[in-house]
Each structure stands twice: as structure tokens, then as C-alpha cells.
């Protein structure tokens, strides 16, 4: 286990970011000989506070990224009259203490030297960042407040995403935490957020805020102290509990401070500093980026697979706008064919979307095209086609999918009437005669074209499904309906009309 002495830690200042991640196990070992150089533990801790400043990764946020945010580009207005007097004003420690004490918060906001360092960083070196954060707050803060209010939590927690992500839903830390609230994949999934190749709900402002509020409530339920709950949001309750044990059972954040991971020692001070700055920015002549008008939005449910470009082009709205409102769709695809997904649109576009759904789904379908089944080239006649049973599938459902009868499936697979299907079981779904989709000669030899349309003569071993695979854009159900077939049974020599694709 790596141990860092007080004096050594004082001269080693690192700059990793704040996020929910795995931390090293380093802490201040009060049993090391270096402690003899300080009169008391309290003096040692004060010395460490003054020197071990770890700034959040959000402070490194590229200002250009914020300025290219679609919302900021469309609605941001800079107050030129304010910029004329945009010079920082420093205050004494007593003024900072008084101002913090006057904040209407349920969470304690004490002042010390490390809090002062974070305040100075925001009001001096990162003034432009604060100006833009104030502009973005007009959109995001109501979302955070609603989620916190729903769980009965202090509303000042709404400023945590400023530390975590600088209010960028697409932010990803070096450790892999993502979204406004910077959830790691494991934490996000454990809280019920969906994370896969197409959807990352850690980036969904509404869902991630709801989960963050629940998570913070759970953490507070462990410690019944907001400073400890906030610290554990950053490094995990295991590390906070470990710090409490190493301190001899103390449960005050500032008393266990030396025993916390380095990245977490500054997390609560940064939270206090952000609360100060977001309330007293005017006292430091920081000019907030104003908004011409709030962006009013509404939500619709998408039940089919669709690309954001299809929506943008048909509704004639910028795709960047849809992306900024729906950052959870990683590749611009909403997989609504799997389950209903939420789509946020400007309020005035919601009715237009509902009216134009058919046109949207029909527009540039190749953007979301998926082949449900593909017959490999070069399959010889007589090759059997197999299906792997999935959870929830039934014999009748599989028979309908491949255009065969249940009795044939039973016969080909030696199944009795009381046989049960197993997940992963391999079933033969056609008899001999499965022909490659790419074998044009086999298809043409059994196909005839007349004035009334295209016909296929059924060969021995063929099923509706294997026949449909020979004709592009045609399904077994299409053939069944066109020929008024009540079941899936067909016979060799039978002529079937083939739908025009």
C-alpha cells in the first residue's frame, strides 16, 4: 500500500480530475516520522490544505467547446456594458466567511484556505468559464432542481455538475466517467441507466439527473452528513468509510480530510466555492452570458428505428439542435424498434413531428437499414438452415418467422408434442433445398414471368421462408398474404405469385 507523508504530500501537487473513478489508496500516514516536524496534527492538516490543491478536470474545459454549443450559439448574448467593468475584486477572509454564511443553504458552507484557493481560481483565472456556465445554467438548472426536489434534497446540490462536467453532457473524463454528473459505466448501469453502443443515458440530462439525485440520497442515508455524502459521490463510500476508520472513527469531513484520496480532499471545498461563485459572481464583476429567450422543449416517444438526420431534414431543423437536446444518442440513431425512446424537440416542432412520422421513417431509409437475415453466398442445395432458440421464443413463433408449419418443425427436429424448447437449442427450420440468396440460376429456374406477374414453382423441400430469400425485398408473410394462404404448408409443383419488391 502506498503511503505519503505529510511533508512529501505538501510538495507534490497533482492535477487529476474529479469523477467517480477508482482512486489510489494514498493517504497521509500520521504514524510516519515526518509528523514530528509539526507541533500538532491540526497544524499538519492546515499545512496540507494550503498546499495540496487538486483542481477539477472541468476547470480544464475548453472554452471553445462551450462557445460552439448549439444552445449558446443560438441564444447567448454578451452584456457589453458589463464587460467594461469586468475586473476582479478581492475580498478579505472575513467578507468571504460572511457571504458564505448568508447563502440560504441546508448544507454547511464553511470557509478556509483551500476554499479560498478554489474561489480565486474561478473568479480570477477562469472568469470566462464562469460567464458561460451562468448562460448554460438557464437551461440545465431547472432540470437539476426538479430532480433534487423530487427526492427532497437540498437544491444547492444542483451545482455539482459544474465541478463534474462544466455543464457539458458530452463530457468524458480521462477515467471514462461521462455526462453532466460524470457516472462511470458500472455506477450508471447499477443505477438503471442504459449504456451501449447506440444509447448512453449517462449523457441524458433528465435521466442522469434523476439517477444522480437518487444516488446522492442513498449516500446521505449512509452517513447522514452532506459533506461526507458529497465526498463519497466523488470517490465512493468505501473510500470515505476507510478514511473514517483510519481517523479513529471521526465523522467530520474536515477531520478525516488527510485520510481521503487526494482527488477527494478538494471536492467539498470546490463545491463550496462553486456555490459562492454562482451566487456572488456580480460582486467580482463577472458578466454572465445572457440568453435571448429560454429554449422551450417537449418530449415525444419514438417507437421505430430512426436517424436524427431523417428527423432534421424532414422537419427542416438543424441536426445540431437535435443532438444538443438528445446527447444520449451516441451515433445519431434512436433504436425505437427495441423499445420506446424519448426524443426531446423544441415545443413548436413536436406537432410537426407527430404529423410527419411516416415521411420521416420513409426518408433515406438506408440510414437505419438492418438486414434481419442474410444467406451466405455459396450454400449448396440440400443444406439445412438452422435457428438458435432465444429467450421467450415459441415453436409457433419460429414457424411463422420462417414460413413453415409447426408439424414440419417437429418432424425435422424429432420433437414430441410435449417437448420444451431450451434457450440456445439449435433447430432445423427448413428441409433439404435451402438455396443461396446469391444463386441466381437456382431462383430463375423455378421462376416464371407472365403478363399477370412473377410466379415461383415450389420445389421439394422449399418453405415460404427459403423462397422469400430468393427475391429481394420479399418476406414469407408477403408471399403468404398475396396467395391467400391460411397456413405455412406448401407442396412441390405449386405455383406462388411473388410480390413486386
pLDDT, position 398: 87
Q: What are phi and psi of 200, to 5 degrees?
A: -130, 95
* CATH of residue 388: 3.10.350.10
Same domain for 499 and 459, yes or no, is yes
What's the CA dihedral at 110, 115, 116, 122 to 10 degrees? Answer: -120
Say how far residue 459 (Cα) sits from the centre of its chain: 51
| End-to-end CA gap in the chain | 68
Query: CA-CA distance, 6 to 8, in Å (whole number)?
Result: 6
Last residue of a domain, one of 291, 319, 352: 291
pLDDT, position 480: 86
pLDDT, position 328: 96
- Per run of 10 residues, the mean pLDDT along the chain (length 501 residues) is 32 38 40 30 43 56 53 64 72 96 97 94 89 88 97 98 92 90 93 95 96 96 97 94 95 95 91 97 88 75 95 93 93 94 93 93 88 59 74 86 81 81 84 39 50 74 80 82 83 83 60
Same domain for 41 and 136, yes or no, is yes
Nine cell digits for residue 463: 418453405
Same domain for 394 and 341, yes or no, is no
Same domain for 261 and 142, yes or no, is yes
Q: Which of 48, 66, 53, 44 is nearest to 16 (CA)?
A: 53
Same domain for 352 and 441, yes or no, is no
Same domain for 456 and 389, yes or no, is yes
Residue 197 forms part of a structural domain? yes
Query: CA-CA distance, 219 to 217, in Å (whole number)?
Result: 5
pLDDT, position 57: 58
Q: 98 CB contacts (<8 Å, ≥6 apart)?
A: none
- For residue 117, how many C-alpha atoms fall within 13 Å in the half-sphere facing its CB? 18
pLDDT, position 31: 32
Rounded to the nearest 10 degrees, what angle do helices 113-120 and 41-51 cross at? 10
* Whether 52 contacts 10, CB under 8 Å: yes
Same domain for 124 and 15, yes or no, is yes
pLDDT, position 461: 72
* H or E stretch at 93: helix 93-101
> How buried is 112 (Cβ within 10 angstroms: 0-12 exposed, 13-18 middle, 19+ buried)?
middle
Residue 1 forms part of a structural domain? no
* Whether 39 contacts 6, CB under 8 Å: no
Domains held by the chain: number: 3
Last residue of a domain, one of 334, 367, 400: 367
Question: Domain span at residue 500?
Answer: 374-501
* CATH of residue 36: 1.10.530.10
pLDDT, position 72: 61
Last residue of a domain, one of 272, 291, 310: 291
E strand spans, 231-304:
290-291, 297-302
Q: 131 CB contacts (<8 Å, ≥6 apart)?
A: 286, 287, 288, 289
Residue 404 forms part of a structural domain? yes
Where helices occur in 173-225 by DSSP H, the ranges are: 185-190, 205-223
pTM listed for this prediction: 0.66
Same domain for 359 and 460, yes or no, is no
Amino acid at each position: 500500500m502506498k503511503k505519503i507523508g505529510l511533508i512529501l504530500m505538501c510538495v507534490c501537487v497533482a492535477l487529476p480530475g474529479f469523477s467517480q473513478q477508482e482512486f489510489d489508496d494514498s493517504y497521509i500516514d500520521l504514524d510516519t516520522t515526518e509528523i514530528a516536524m509539526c507541533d500538532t496534527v491540526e497544524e499538519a492538516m492546515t499545512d496540507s490544505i494550503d498546499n495540496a490543491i487538486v483542481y477539477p478536470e472541468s476547470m480544464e474545459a475548453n472554452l471553445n467547446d462551450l462557445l460552439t454549443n448549439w444552445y449558446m450559439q443560438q441564444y447567448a448574448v454578451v452584456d457589453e456594458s458589463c464587460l467594461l467593468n469586468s475586473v476582479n475584486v478581492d475580498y478579505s477572509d472575513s467578507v468571504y466567511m460572511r457571504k458564505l454564511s448568508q447563502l440560504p443553504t441546508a448544507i454547511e458552507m464553511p470557509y478556509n484556505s483551500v476554499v479560498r484557493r478554489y474561489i480565486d481560481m474561478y473568479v480570477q483565472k477562469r472568469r470566462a468559464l464562469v460567464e458561460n456556465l451562468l448562460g448554460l445554467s438557464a437551461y440545465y438548472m431547472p432540470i437539476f432542481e426538479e430532480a433534487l426536489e423530487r427526492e427532497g434534497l437540498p437544491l444547492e446540490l444542483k451545482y455539482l455538475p459544474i465541478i463534474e462536467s462544466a455543464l457539458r453532457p458530452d463530457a468524458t473524463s480521462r477515467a471514462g466517467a461521462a455526462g453532466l454528473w460524470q457516472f462511470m459505466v458500472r455506477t450508471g448501469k447499477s443505477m438503471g441507466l442504459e449504456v451501449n453502443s447506440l444509447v448512453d443515458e449517462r449523457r441524458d440530462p433528465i435521466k442522469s439527473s434523476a439517477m444522480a439525485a437518487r444516488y446522492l440520497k442513498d449516500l446521505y442515508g449512509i452517513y447522514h452528513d452532506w459533506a461526507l455524502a458529497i465526498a463519497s459521490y466523488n470517490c465512493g463510500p468505501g473510500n470515505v468509510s476507510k478514511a473514517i476508520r483510519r481517523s479513529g472513527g471521526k465523522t467530520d469531513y474536515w477531520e478525516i480530510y488527510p485520510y481521503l484520496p487526494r482527488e477527494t480532499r478538494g471536492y467539498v471545498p470546490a463545491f463550496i466555492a462553486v456555490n459562492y461563485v454562482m451566487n456572488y459572481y456580480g460582486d467580482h464583476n463577472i458578466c454572465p452570458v445572457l440568453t435571448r429567450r429560454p429554449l422551450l422543449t417537449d418530449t415525444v416517444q419514438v417507437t421505430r428505428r430512426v436517424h436524427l438526420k431523417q428527423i432534421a431534414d424532414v422537419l427542416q431543423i438543424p441536426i445540431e439542435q437535435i443532438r444538443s437536446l438528445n446527447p444520449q444518442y451516441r451515433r445519431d440513431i434512436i433504436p425505437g424498434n427495441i423499445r420506446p425512446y424519448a426524443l426531446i424537440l423544441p415545443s413548436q416542432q413536436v406537432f410537426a413531428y407527430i404529423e410527419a412520422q411516416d415521411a420521416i421513417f420513409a426518408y433515406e431509409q438506408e440510414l437505419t437499414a438492418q438486414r434481419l437475415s442474410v444467406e451466405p453466398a455459396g450454400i449448396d442445395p440440400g443444406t439445412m438452415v438452422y435457428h438458435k432458440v432465444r429467450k421467450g421464443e415459441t415453436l409457433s413463433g419460429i414457424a411463422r418467422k420462417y414460413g413453415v408449419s409447426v408439424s414440419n418443425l417437429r418432424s425435422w427436429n424429432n420433437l414430441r408434442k410435449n417437448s420444451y424448447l431450451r434457450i440456445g437449442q439449435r433447430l432445423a427450420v427448413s428441409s433439404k433445398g435451402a438455396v443461396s440468396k446469391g444463386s441466381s440460376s437456382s431462383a430463375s429456374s423455378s421462376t416464371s414471368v407472365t403478363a399477370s406477374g412473377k410466379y415461383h414453382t415450389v420445389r421439394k423441400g422449399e418453405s415460404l421462408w427459403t423462397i422469400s430469400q430468393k427475391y429481394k425485398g420479399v418476406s414469407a408473410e408477403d408471399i403468404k398474404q398475396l396467395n391467400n394462404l391460411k397456413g405455412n404448408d406448401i407442396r412441390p409443383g405449386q405455383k406462388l405469385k411473388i410480390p413486386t419488391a
